[in-house]
Amino acid sequence: MGGVELPERYNVGADLLERNLKAGREHKVAIFSEAKTLTYGELFKLACGAAHALHDLGVRREERVLIAGYDGAGWVAAFLGAIRLGAVPVPVNPLLQRSEDYDHFIDDSLARVVVVDSNTEEKLKPAVARALSAPRLLRVDQIAPGPEIATAPTRKDDMAFWLYSSGSTGKPKAVVHLQHDIPYTCLTYGEQVLGITEDDTTFSTTGLFHAYGFGNNLTLPYWVGASTVLHAGRHTPATVLETIEKRRPTLFFSAPTLFNAILNFEGATSRNLSSIRHCVAAAEALPAEVWRRWKDAFGLTILDGVGSTEMLHIYCSNRLDDVRPGSSGKPVPGYELKILDDGGQPVPTGVAGDLYVKGDSALALYWAQHEKSKRAILGEWFFTGDRYRVDQDGYYWHEGRSDDMIKVGGLWVSPIEIESVLMEHPNVAEGAVVGISVEGLMKVKAFVITKGDATPGDALASALQEHCKTRLQRFQYPHVIEFVPELPKTVTGKIQRYKLREPAREPAAT
């Protein structure tokens, strides 16, 4: 499959709504949420209102609009309205704890406007005040339905939106996506694997700021005229089960960590999940045991797959009629995969190597990151940074990362960042952080050399965990701490984290 057949002049922000109005879905529900229920007709007017509001604040074509808010109709309207205007929406994680966490995103994007809601306004106000680009602030409750606004005459290969992706070192990188990327994911994964139709209602526990949640609960359903369920804030097993019983979605998307948490939640198996026709997992590898337990508990198949911010959505997946629990399945139609060794040569079947993917939803570049773009984008191929092997039946199996990044609960964790915080503690001389598998799920483990007369043990381990929790995001603290006399290093003094990941070690303190 080559590129999607689109007109040269194409605006995806306009298309995702107008295609539903043309199909007679003006009065069909597009968004269910606690705040409000919106039809496609109402959402169209709200998106036009957002475009008017952004224009009045001085936003012009290709200027960036940062969106830092919880999932809701205002978020969707700001995103689609910005693209309709020819501007570039830039969603970021609304759950970051400190105002300073947003400085990089505002400065890197040179955002003209920062869109916030009641949950994020107080965090973003100081960041906006510090920014050299002097952006304006727009609250989603200031966006009102508006008259139709002219669609910017963007081209199918124009820049459409950014998503941020973390790396093993340095600050998050802006992944630049083009107007045609969204239709490509809808016609490949959406139609040919998920089989989504206008009769579906989607519910995703992964937020809209994340590429996975963005596809699950916005682009894939709007492409076919399905309905979506948006939940503002963090998800727990209790909120997820309540939402499913109340809204009765037909497609449920989540991450393996939350699927497992729901299975372990008291009374979960007695809850009514009968509306769901099947489930999807991505953002981290799904253990085969979790797949089996979910199937036994609810009679539902989880379609596990792998995608990335850079490829926009899932490019390798299991199918309803072709499942291999524990694997990432097979390539999605429209994508090609290859596994190469360190010398750039194909590896034999069953041997692990670096995974490369080709497909027309791939990023155009990392914004203002020329060297990183050159290293990751090799002609039509993207270097994923994941280690994979493919078995003789064509199923792909995840073997870890090519770098030292750790994925916990679907979110990237930099070991270097945690190590730096550990080193700030007066009782730590050195520290090294790796990802370990606990019951098939990824957890963060720290190896610590104590300083002076500090006493290793449970008390110090707990103190170090609390120290990290106060300085990092909620998902970045070490779940397990082991005290060691020394750390494995190269002759140049670089920590050899791969040796710490060897399974022979047992934790001394947790």
Whether 30 contacts 38, CB under 8 Å: yes
pLDDT given for residue 12 in this prediction = 98
pLDDT given for residue 222 in this prediction = 98
pLDDT given for residue 498 in this prediction = 74
- Tell me which of 209 and 488 has the higher pLDDT: 209
Whole-number Å distance between alpha carbons of 215 and 178:
15
pLDDT given for residue 28 in this prediction = 98
Query: Which of 63-77, 156-170, 295-309 has the least mean pLDDT?
Result: 156-170
406-500: CATH topology is GMP Synthetase; Chain A, domain 3 (3.30.300)
Domain spans in the chain, listed from the N-terminal domain onward: 1-179, 181-403, 406-500
Task: State the pLDDT confidence band at 170, using cuts at 50, 70 and 90.
Answer: low
Whole-number Å distance between alpha carbons of 35 and 125:
23
1-179 CATH choice from 3.40.190.10, 3.40.309.10, 3.40.50.980, 3.10.100.10: 3.40.50.980
| DSSP H helices in 268-365 | 288-298
Whole-number Å distance between alpha carbons of 485 and 116:
48
204-to-1, 89, 148, 443 alpha-carbon distances in Å? 28, 21, 30, 23
pLDDT reading at 164 higher than 90:
yes
pLDDT reading at 44 higher than 90:
yes
Task: State the pLDDT confidence band at 496, using cuts at 50, 70 and 90.
Answer: confident
pLDDT reading at 421 higher than 90:
no
Summarised one tens digit per residue, pLDDT across range 451-480 is: 888 999 999 999 999 999 998 887 889 999
Summarised one tens digit per residue, pLDDT across range 197-215 is: 999 999 999 999 999 999 9
Strands 64-68 and 88-91, how do they pair?
A: parallel
Whole-number Å distance between alpha carbons of 205 and 113:
27
pLDDT given for residue 380 in this prediction = 97
Summarised one tens digit per residue, pLDDT across range 225-274 is: 999 999 998 899 999 999 999 999 999 999 888 898 899 899 999 999 99
pLDDT given for residue 502 in this prediction = 63
| Sequence-ordered list of residues with C-beta below 8 angstroms from that of 69, at least 6 positions apart, any chain | 75, 78, 94, 115, 116, 117, 119, 120, 140
Whether 332 contacts 354, CB under 8 Å: no
pLDDT given for residue 328 in this prediction = 96
Summarised one tens digit per residue, pLDDT across range 53-98 is: 999 999 999 999 999 999 999 999 999 999 999 999 999 999 998 9
Whole-number Å distance between alpha carbons of 151 and 162:
19
Q: What φ, ψ does residue 305 adopt, rounded to 5°?
A: -155, 175
Query: Which of 31-35, 165-169, 278-282 has the least mean pLDDT?
Result: 165-169
| Sequence-ordered list of residues with C-beta below 8 angstroms from that of 149, at least 6 positions apart, any chain | 48, 51, 52, 55, 84, 85
What does the block give as tokens for 124?
């973003």
Summarised one tens digit per residue, pLDDT across range 313-346 is: 999 999 999 999 999 999 999 999 999 988 899 9
Strands 365-366 and 173-178, how do they pair?
A: antiparallel
What does the block give as tokens for 367?
């914004």
Strands 113-116 and 64-68, how do they pair?
A: parallel
pLDDT given for residue 199 in this prediction = 98
Summarised one tens digit per residue, pLDDT across range 338-393 is: 999 888 999 999 988 899 999 999 999 999 999 999 999 999 999 998 889 999 99
Token match 């916030």: residue?
A: 116
CATH topology identical between 181-403 and 406-500: no
Summarised one tens digit per residue, pLDDT across range 97-119 is: 899 999 999 999 999 999 999 99
Q: Does the domain at residues 181-403 carry the CATH identifier 3.30.1180.20?
A: no
Task: State the pLDDT confidence band at 506, using cuts at 50, 70 and 90.
Answer: very low
pLDDT given for residue 492 in this prediction = 39
Is residue 43 helix, strand or coil?
helix
pLDDT given for residue 216 in this prediction = 97
Summarised one tens digit per residue, pLDDT across range 1-27 is: 567 899 999 999 999 999 999 999 999
Task: State the pLDDT confidence band at 510, using cuts at 50, 70 and 90.
Answer: very low
